[in-house]
Structure 1
């Protein structure tokens, strides 16, 4: 099993393999949409998960997410894929309850390797307090793994990426640069400790951040994954008809990832994200390497929250004090949309 280098079996790693947001919108255009007043969030909303109301106090939150290997260790890969899928439920303010495996494996992959991928997924789901109840698997030359996840949320308290209000403060909960790290690891350019740091960040659930978030007047939330900070921020701004002013200096950027960006060692998905969002971004005088990390596809990234400005300091303090929250970064603000660009990057002092 130690001889199997999973990342060598895939063209793209993790969320860097996602279809670009712009291309995805074209693929979905014109599809018929059946209306149901209980479907509170559907695929036409560009949100993190679907939400279907059961009663005044209960709604189902459903998502599916899977991708090719982002780590060579099969257990780590399985755990990262599971954490990434669970994150969509947390982004809606929900609690995961039930999951199903989605898996594709080469016919000649050792049984022990497949077992370890599944074990990583199972243990991460159980850490989230949810259950795996089955799944579906096929043979494929390129391995892929992930989950469908069902959770619960109070529909009166659910969060979407479209609730941002002018004046809201933007907070982000993980260090930035995971995509560049995975590109560097795949190229063999990272020190072992940097590889381990990236894997640990990707395996960290957004559960603790969600548990803090729901105690404060957060108006909108999204988890930053394959479309990068700027792709997901653009969806937030468009959905809420606001403009977002981001402070690049406010993000905690992984030093090794910034080094990879300066060297031009970047994942393919970053360029798809730039193509999708850059027409709506005013970059100011922000250095290119830092812009790249803002477009960088984040596998199992953090939560981006839009919180009432009067509660921002208290939320930041609570996140910083909570075990299991990798970062608490005040990264910008929302303002009334004035037309033109939706995203503005502040100059770095």
Structure 2
């Protein structure tokens, strides 16, 4: 049996994880999308970021969509509704913006199931103070699904395309939380009141507007390292990551692989110039949020993991794309 404490076995387990496999499926769309340069009112929009960023006269409109993991919708429809809001809102803040409004799409077997999903959507919107302004409902579907599309606004961006060699890589999360009993979800925001949660999320636009951060990405279903790979690939760079520097809660002491693959309700990876690292860390520390340096952006295409005295290549973009979008496409 593979030993996740050994670096080679850990890398094999990460690469085989279903969440990583699903992210790589995005590459199927690459050949159809990359030749197409999206233009909105004559301005180009880059593909692959947490949201589409549409330049305006005074900043950017942000547009994103998320569909919730079908087994979660089937087993916990209320939580699925709330998660549809959480995932979309996190994408907006990860880009340095604030959410404005969203619409939803609900497929359910009956109106009772649809109502449960809608309660989750409603409560999520109230928690994040984002308006739900419309949507679509099919209440006689053979399967359940919930998705949402969100609109936000930013003055300046935190984009996955802007990481530069020499940047420090920072892992931002809240270590106070718990694992979901059935899904790879780290709930680290349930203990916070709505105003506290929105205050913590607003730290991301603060970094963007102050110019303290080169790049950022929301930690998604691919977990910390999978989300980091997406940011590095889009920026056309590599990295060296020290696994021993990744903070973890007590619950993850014997579940390091689960921790690396967990989708946190509050989690981001940032690329920050060395001269701004202390300021960025203090910004999060002021609110008891963990912000640890876990590595450095490097030139080239390799992402290298280090653990104790061992070192191994996690990914080499020159040999294998992850999601298939980058500055070089």
Q: 2:5 maps to which residue?
A: none
- Structure 2 spans left out of the alignment, 5+ residues: 1-17, 311-329
Structure 2 matches for 1:22-33, cutoff 5 A?
22-31=24-33, 33=36
Seen in structure 2, the aligned counterparts of structure 1 residues 292 and 131 have a Cα distance that, compared at 3 Å, is closer
Aligned partner of residue 102 in structure 2, secondary structure: strand
Q: 1:223 maps to which residue?
A: 218
Seen in structure 2, the aligned counterparts of structure 1 residues 119 and 18 have a Cα distance that, compared at 3 Å, is farther
Give the distance between the partners of 2:97 and 2:114, measured in 1 at CA: 34
**Contact (CA 8 Å) 2:167, 2:297: kept in 1 or not?**
yes
Pair 1:186-2:182 in alignment: yes
Structure 2 matches for 1:66-85, cutoff 5 A?
66-67=67-68, 68=70, 69=72, 75-85=78-88
- Structure 1 spans left out of the alignment, 5+ residues: 1-15, 262-289
Seen in structure 2, the aligned counterparts of structure 1 residues 310 and 328 have a Cα distance that, compared at 3 Å, is same
Seen in structure 2, the aligned counterparts of structure 1 residues 252 and 144 have a Cα distance that, compared at 3 Å, is farther
Q: 2:103 maps to which residue?
A: 100
Q: 2:64 maps to which residue?
A: 63
Q: 1:293 maps to which residue?
A: 259
Task: Give the aligned length.
Answer: 283
Seen in structure 2, the aligned counterparts of structure 1 residues 115 and 152 have a Cα distance that, compared at 3 Å, is closer
Give the distance between the partners of 1:237 and 1:221, measured in 2 at CA: 10
Q: CA deviation at 1:124?
A: 2.8
- Give the aligned CA root-mean-square deviation in angstroms: 3.5
Q: 1:277 maps to which residue?
A: none
Give the distance between the partners of 2:232 and 2:114, measured in 1 at CA: 46
Give the distance between the partners of 1:292 and 1:85, measured in 2 at CA: 23
Q: 2:304 maps to which residue?
A: 343
**Contact (CA 8 Å) 1:92, 1:159: kept in 2 or not?**
yes
Seen in structure 2, the aligned counterparts of structure 1 residues 97 and 109 have a Cα distance that, compared at 3 Å, is same
Q: 2:126 maps to which residue?
A: 123
Give the distance between the partners of 1:313 and 1:25, measured in 2 at CA: 37
Q: CA deviation at 1:120?
A: 1.9
Q: CA deviation at 1:121?
A: 2.5
Pair 1:330-2:293 in alignment: yes
Q: CA deviation at 1:243?
A: 1.8
Give the distance between the partners of 2:122 and 2:21, measured in 1 at CA: 27
**Contact (CA 8 Å) 1:77, 1:120: kept in 2 or not?**
no
Aligned partner of residue 173 in structure 1, secondary structure: strand
Pair 1:318-2:283 in alignment: yes
Pair 1:41-2:6 in alignment: no
Q: 1:239 maps to which residue?
A: 234
Seen in structure 2, the aligned counterparts of structure 1 residues 71 and 17 have a Cα distance that, compared at 3 Å, is farther
Q: 1:136 maps to which residue?
A: 136
Structure 2 matches for 1:141-220, cutoff 5 A?
141-154=142-155, 157-175=156-174, 181-182=179-180, 185-186=181-182, 204=197, 207-214=201-208, 215-220=210-215
Q: 2:319 maps to which residue?
A: none
Q: CA deviation at 1:167?
A: 1.5
Seen in structure 2, the aligned counterparts of structure 1 residues 195 and 151 have a Cα distance that, compared at 3 Å, is closer
Q: CA deviation at 1:21?
A: 1.9
Aligned partner of residue 116 in structure 2, secondary structure: helix
How big is each residue's C-alpha offset from its partner over 1:52-101, in whole Å with a ceiling of 9 and x where there is no partner?
1222x232110001204379765544333211111111111111112112
Give the distance between the partners of 1:18 and 1:106, measured in 2 at CA: 30
Q: CA deviation at 1:175?
A: 4.5
How big is each residue's C-alpha offset from its partner over 1:268-310, in whole Å with a ceiling of 9 and x where there is no partner?
xxxxxxxxxxxxxxxxxxxxxx35532x151544121111111
